[in-house]
Amino acid sequence: MGDLIYRQNAIDAICSVCGNDCDKSEFVYNAPQDEQVIMCPEHYVLSTLPSAEPEIIRCKDCIYQTESWSGIKYCEAHGDHIGKDYDYCSNARRKDNE
């Protein structure tokens, strides 16, 4: 995997090169839901990029976690018992994203 950088550091670096006060520049973009955003194009692009760091979803928050009648927690994605609530895996999906 490539280098991870802090988004704000990248924005600051771009703004220092372009010489504008990016938050108060004359560029206006129509953001989602018709909200107007005032910033330079570079700042806008960097601000709207998705995070490079994946979200970690714990077993306790996953839709695949079920519990048997005896109280044993089970993972439907792996077909196995869950070790701890704070474990995680690459198959996880958050319960509120159903």
**Paired tokens of 83:** 């070790």
Domain assignment present for residue 33? The answer is yes
Residues 42 and 70 occupy one common structural domain = no
**Paired tokens of 97:** 């994203």
Strand partners, 9: none
Per-residue pLDDT tens, the chain, 98 aa: give them. 567 778 888 878 877 776 655 555 455 555 555 555 566 777 777 877 877 777 889 998 999 999 888 888 989 888 888 888 888 888 888 887 54
CA angle in degrees (0–180, nearest 5) for 26-29-33: 145
Residues 44 and 18 occupy one common structural domain = yes
SS3 9: helix
pLDDT score, position 32: 57
Contact 25, 39 (CB under 8 A): yes
Domain assignment present for residue 72? The answer is yes
Domain assignment present for residue 53? The answer is no
The range of the structural domain enclosing residue 77 comes to: 59-97
**Paired tokens of 69:** 């009648």
Domain assignment present for residue 1? The answer is no
pTM of the predicted structure, to 2 decimals: 0.49
pLDDT score, position 25: 47
Domain assignment present for residue 36? The answer is yes
Domain assignment present for residue 40? The answer is yes
